Amino acid sequence: MRQAALAEKLDQDESVRLKLLQTNRMILANAYVEKRRGEVVKPSTAEVKAYYDKHPELFAERKIYELTELVIQPKPANEAEVLARLGDGKQFDEFGRWLNEKRIPHGSRPHTAAPDNMPADIASKLSKLAVGQAAVISNAEQISILRINALQPQAVALEQATPAIEKKLLDERMTNAMESALKSLRDKAKLEYMPPYGATEPVAAKQ
């Protein structure tokens, strides 16, 4: 079929030529990415150990949490009063009744979570709390409160954690390497204007 297409000069068709050029550009761009990725050095044993020691909440002191997540949405104007009423979370049921009395919209649900399946900042907050206490995550739209109902220690040894840590560190290095490579390419890039466009011509606004 390729030979038949060449015999019919389909490779000279403008739309086909454009597709061939686009494919060629993509292949070369991917080759560049793979070359940069191949230059990234695998994390050393010492680096893996340092990451393990730096994040005990994920490994040596890892816990499985039984949580109640209470979401207040939209975020109330009296946020400071709400958080003061919550306190450390030990009077959680009383806090829920107070929200009802104040008619502050909210909802709650129980769920089980592990630190490796949540954002690092939340895992760090929970690791410092005891059963009955709560962590607060506040953003522009809502307040999320995670109350620990129970926890089960489930430590992960360095040997078990090593493959996951190596992958995480390697992925981070590859991301950083690509960002650095792209920045370098952009810094060196020159924009050339071809007819009928000129460097000083304003771009027409879309209707």
Query: Can you tell me the distance from the alpha carbon of 172 to that of 48, in angstroms, rounded to the nearest whole number?
Result: 13
Per the CB < 8 A criterion, the answer to whether 137 and 144 are in contact is yes
| Number of CB atoms found within 10 A of residue 65's CB | 22
Grouped pLDDT means (10 residues each) for the chain, 207 residues: 93 93 94 91 96 95 96 93 93 94 94 92 93 94 96 96 96 93 90 77 53
In words, the CATH class of domain 63-153 is alpha beta
- pLDDT value of residue 143: 96
End-to-end CA distance of the chain: 44
CA distances from 15 to 3, 20, 128 (A): 18, 9, 61
- pLDDT value of residue 193: 84
- pLDDT value of residue 207: 47
- pLDDT value of residue 171: 94
The beta-carbon contacts of 105-108 under 8 Å, at least 24 apart in sequence, are 105/72, 105/73, 105/74, 106/70, 106/71, 106/72, 106/73, 107/70, 107/71, 107/73, 108/68, 108/69, 108/70, 108/71
- pLDDT value of residue 166: 96
Strands 106-113 and 143-153: unpaired
Residue 39 DSSP SS3 = coil
Residue 174 DSSP SS3 = helix
Token output for 17: 């030529």
Residues 6+ apart with CB under 8 A from 83: 136, 143
Query: Can you tell me the distance from the alpha carbon of 105 to that of 83, in angstroms, rounded to the nearest whole number?
Result: 15
